[in-house]
Structure 1
Amino acid sequence: MEDDLHVLYTKMSLTEEESEDVVVDTGDLEDVLPSGECCLFMKLFTEKYFNKKAFKGTMRKVWQTAMGVRFWELSSVLFLVEFENGRDRMKVLREGPWLFDKHLVLLKEMDGRLQVQQVYMTMASFWVQLHD
């Protein structure tokens, strides 16, 4: 099997068009970046299996956004959350921290220049009030 794959792999080649470099104009890149202003990265802080459909549905319900919210699965544990407006995004950040099934939901503001492999989510902010 492995030998068959190796033979097939050696027969593969790119066309002239496929082997050309792809150049992205920085002006085009700047047009895309503002779309991240209404987005957040989201991760459930657990190593256990969880129902992703229930997770997204629960977050949508408890956040009670004025406008719509969409979820994009970037990996098995990382999501991109796209809000219809910046007010809903700020509300979700401000009213946290959030929990799902007794696990912490980590949120991080999206930087349009950041690649998915560079997104590290290991901390959450908490507001604590102490009484004497």
Structure 2
Amino acid sequence: MDDIVHQYKQMGIAEDKEELIFDDDDERHTANDGKMTFPLVGKVLTDRKIKLQIFKKLMASLWRPVKGVSTKEIGEKRYIFSFYHNLDMRCVLDECPWFFERNLLILKEIKANNVRT
């Protein structure tokens, strides 16, 4: 997970287009405890400060993942959401767009080939 965090700390929004910049490929990731995870990286588009605990609880209650989700802050308004089942992650992506306090949450699946070791 630390490789993912390191790589996506660099994630940003293109100044002129207001979009997140990513690479694309396919695979799954393993959490530190050995469980397979299905991670998403996200960014909240806001100028306001986000209270992490409130954000984590609200998004988990909206998404209601059956197998759970862990959320890690990787930078200012940047997060990694690790789902423990592919269907939980897919449901979240299928229901986009998501908002937090009326601010857009941009989500993108992290593919294994995007992680540089």
Band of TM-score, shorter chain = 0.5 to 0.7
Whose strand proportion is higher, 1 or 2?
2
TM-score by length of 2: 0.64
**2:77 partner amino acid:** V
Aligned to 1:92: 92
Q: CA deviation at 1:114?
A: 3.2
CA contact (8 A) 2:50 2:77 kept: no
- Residue correspondences, number: 84
Unaligned runs of 5+ residues in structure 1 are 1-32, 117-132
Q: CA deviation at 1:98?
A: 0.8
Query: Does the residue aligned with 1:38 lie in a helix, a strand or coil?
Result: strand
Task: Give the number of the structure with larger relative contact order, counting CA–CA contacts within 8 Å between residues 6 or more apart.
Answer: 2
Aligned-residue sequence identity (percent) comes to: 26
* TM superposition shift of 1:113: 3.8
User: Residues 75-114 of structure 1: matches in 2 within 5 Å?
Assistant: 75-114=75-114
User: Within 2, Cα distance between the matches of 1:44 and 1:57?
Assistant: 15
> What is the match of residue 60 of structure 2?
60
- State the alpha-carbon separation in 2 of the partners of residues 109 and 102 from structure 1: 22
Unaligned runs of 5+ in 2: 1-26, 31-36
Trace 1:11-90 onto structure 2 (pairs within 5 A).
34-35=28-29, 38-90=38-90
Q: How far does the alpha carbon of each residue in 1:62-108 deviate from its partner, in whole angstroms, 9 at most, with x for none?
A: 00111110011111221110001000000000012111101011101
In the TM superposition, structure 1's runs of 4+ consecutive aligned residues that sit over 6 Å from their partners are none
**Larger fraction in helix:** 1
Indicate the residue corresponding to 1:22 in structure 2: none
Letter in 2 for 1:67: K
TM-score relative to the length of structure 1: 0.58
**Structure whose alpha-carbon radius of gyration is higher:** 1
- On the 8 A contact 2:28/2:111 being kept in 1, the answer is no
1:115, distance to aligned residue in structure 2 (A): 5.8
